[in-house]
Chain A
Amino acid sequence: MEKILEVKDLEVSFQTYGGSVKAVRGVSFDLHKGETLAIVGESGSGKSVTSQTIMKLIPMPPGQITGGKILFNGDDIVPKTDKEMEKIRGKEISMIFQDPMTSLNPTMKIGYQIMEGLIKHQNMSKQAAKQRAVELLSLVGIPMPEKRVNQYPHEFSGGMRQRAMIAIALAANPKLLIADEPTTALDVTIQAQILELMKDLQSKMDTSIIFITHDLGVVANVADRVAVMYAGQIVEMGTVDEIFYDPRHPYTWGLLASMPSVDNDDNQDLAAIPGTPPDLTNPPKGDAFAARNKYALAIDFEEEPPMYQISETHFAKTWLLHPDAPQVEPPDAVKKRIRQLSSTFKTPVLVKEDK
């Protein structure tokens, strides 16, 4: 499959009075055409910063890309100027934000907010753009689009606003769509509708999607592949089946075990992950997750674990996969879901860094 995006060893930091915060610490991933990659992690894990860096939306300064490459269609976008980025944003890569209340302009009609991109990127006339805006609104399932196009955001409900946001993002047929928690502010019933809409549009337009969320239920619904982020690094990455049925990293175990499942016994305590994420001004030595990890080995506090490969598509960054590591049992809630996947290698292979 054709690679549309390659992120290589991306490092982003923010200069603050308290020192430099290393928000993203060496993130690498690929994205294929028509694929959905979900990035999961808690707040502060660097998932939003990673995606905003791809669009170069982080304020610089205080933000700074301190290393790595972002190849979009083979072209590195890190050295690009703001002027050059304007040609990419909205046209090649667009974004749906979490909060539809604050990301639409309250003083502009919905129709005009959709037309903006069309007029700028596709040199459409005003009339043609308006025509297209009406089409887009009906595409995202808004009834009476001819009337809605002339309304302001406050006349839309939350779910409708998020649909309008999607229409804006899709206006110029982007190759890559970044959705940063697009359904977190919505009700479950509306969330299900929006997710169905996004999947439907993706199959029609063959867009690649980076879907950022902390809801593992949503991930299971939309993703082809999943990257789990912790403290600015990807700690585990694999296809959706590999992450949910054969997770290898203790942090992924923790996330899966801390969610109540509908058919679970309610008398047991949830397996919460103790503590809070580390301060990234001074990332801890060794494995950043070690302090919260009951499976931590002595080496976790000394040396950062390397990436191990478990199958063609499955990677995990933990010392537990080292041949000398002790055998550990994942939490009960995780053991219940584990299945043997045919694509798994016999033993995990250390990924050699090409430097």
Chain B
Amino acid sequence: MTDKLLEIKNLKQHFNIGKPNMVKAVDGVSFDIYRGETLGLVGESGCGKSTTGRSIIRLYDATDGQVLFNGEDVHGKKSAKELKKFNRKMQMIFQDPYASLNPRMTVSDIIAEGIDIHGLAKDKKERMEKVYALLETVGLNKEHANRYPHEFSGGQRQRIGIARALAVDPDFIIADEPISALDVSIQAQVVNLMKKLQREKGLTYLFIAHDLSMVKYISDRIGVMYFGKLVELATADDLYNNPMHPYTQSLLSAIPLPDPETERTRKRKSYDPKSHNYGDNEKLEMREIAPGHFVYCSEKEEKQYKAQYIK
């Protein structure tokens, strides 16, 4: 777990720069993703988690900061050829399986688009074989290749989206809320599929979601975002057992659990950013409270959190 696949350093993504409606969607976020792990990113809508994902894969040009993939800066100057090479290694699965597949293309063309662009198949026969193999990997079958997206259900479309991402043999996949548009019984199917693919192909995931119980299940480590900042980062179990930042605590206390008894006794915590009472010259940064457990806080809070931390 020491091999860093991705290093994000002080990433900033601002929109409408210089205008009165400037938005600091991502405001100085730093974290690493290790090879073979799943990093979950959670937060409410508008906290910048999707923008972070999109900036990492260069769907947006970052305002500032670095994204190092295998030690190479994604946002640095690149020739078209280099960019193409990089695009092969990083892929994305989108939230809405209804909007992310071109309705006028057949499933085989959708899946093979990457194969065609990167010239991964010598001839038509090899191309189709690859498509069939991919369909099988994601639990669909050969006959589906010539159909159009509208002939599929939501869960099946999400499988097509996953097959498309896998077509170019990537190392790293960003999954932006891949299951939130699906039914409960289908969500489990897609999550199981993603876990299986990770085991078989050694994939690394950045899993962006707001369904915390699913994120806890799939992730090794979890980052919590609030208003463009990463406020806490820890291993999944540690984050759930020892949430330090008050925002994380409020988020965890709001997850509804399928257990009537705990629901009846639930105490919800609310989060008020003013409760920190930061002074003007206090320096706020990510500080390590326990090994691998980082919290965005001031020096004073660091001491306090360290004392609270339960081993």
Is A266 close to B, CB under 8 A?
yes
Those of A40-78 within 8 Å (CB) of chain B: 42-43
CB of A214 within 8 A of CB of B256, answer: no
Is B22 close to A, CB under 8 A?
no
Chain B positions within 8 Å of A337 at CB level:
259
Rounded to whole angstroms, the CA-CA distance of A254 and B266 in the bound complex is 25
Rounded to whole angstroms, the CA-CA distance of A216 and B262 in the bound complex is 13
Q: Taking A260-B213, A261-B213 as contacts, is the C-beta distance between A191 and B185 under 8 angstroms?
A: no
Q: Taking A187-B44, A273-B185, A273-B188 as contacts, is the C-beta distance between A256 and B258 under 8 angstroms?
A: yes
11 pairs, A vs B, C-beta closer than 8 Å: A42-B183, A42-B186, A189-B270, A191-B254, A215-B184, A217-B256, A258-B185, A260-B216, A262-B213, A262-B216, A270-B192
User: Which of B185, B188, B236, B271 is most buried by chain A, counting CB atoms within 10 A of its CB?
Assistant: B185
Chain B positions within 8 Å of A274 at CB level:
189
Chain B positions within 8 Å of A192 at CB level:
253-254, 256, 268
Those of B201-234 within 8 Å (CB) of chain A: 210, 212-214, 216-218
CB of A188 within 8 A of CB of B251, answer: yes
CB of A216 within 8 A of CB of B258, answer: yes
What 13 additional pairs, Cβ within 8 angstroms, besides A220-B263, A262-B216? A188-B256, A195-B256, A220-B257, A220-B262, A221-B263, A258-B185, A260-B216, A262-B240, A272-B185, A272-B186, A272-B189, A273-B189, A274-B189
A184-209 interface code vs B (CB 8 A; 1 in, 0 out) = 00011111100110000000000000
Rounded to whole angstroms, the CA-CA distance of A256 and B251 in the bound complex is 23
Question: Which residues of B pack against A, CB within 8 Å?
Answer: 44-45, 153-156, 183-189, 191-192, 195-196, 210, 212-214, 216-218, 236, 240, 250-251, 253-260, 262-263, 266, 268, 270-271
A148 CB, min distance to chain B CBs, angstroms:
20
Rounded to whole angstroms, the CA-CA distance of A337 and B261 in the bound complex is 11
Rounded to whole angstroms, the CA-CA distance of A221 and B257 in the bound complex is 8
Is A276 close to B, CB under 8 A?
yes
Quick one: closest A residue to B180, CB to CB? A184
Rounded to whole angstroms, the CA-CA distance of A343 and B266 in the bound complex is 25
Rounded to whole angstroms, the CA-CA distance of A220 and B256 in the bound complex is 8
Is A255 close to B, CB under 8 A?
yes
CB of B184 within 8 A of CB of A259, answer: yes
Rounded to whole angstroms, the CA-CA distance of A195 and B256 in the bound complex is 10
CB of A271 within 8 A of CB of B257, answer: no
A246-272 interface code vs B (CB 8 A; 1 in, 0 out) = 000000001110111110101001111
Those of A13-43 within 8 Å (CB) of chain B: 42-43
CB of A216 within 8 A of CB of B186, answer: no
Quick one: closest B residue to A192, CB to CB? B254
CB of B258 within 8 A of CB of A261, answer: yes
CB of A221 within 8 A of CB of B256, answer: yes
B266 CB, min distance to chain A CBs, angstroms:
7
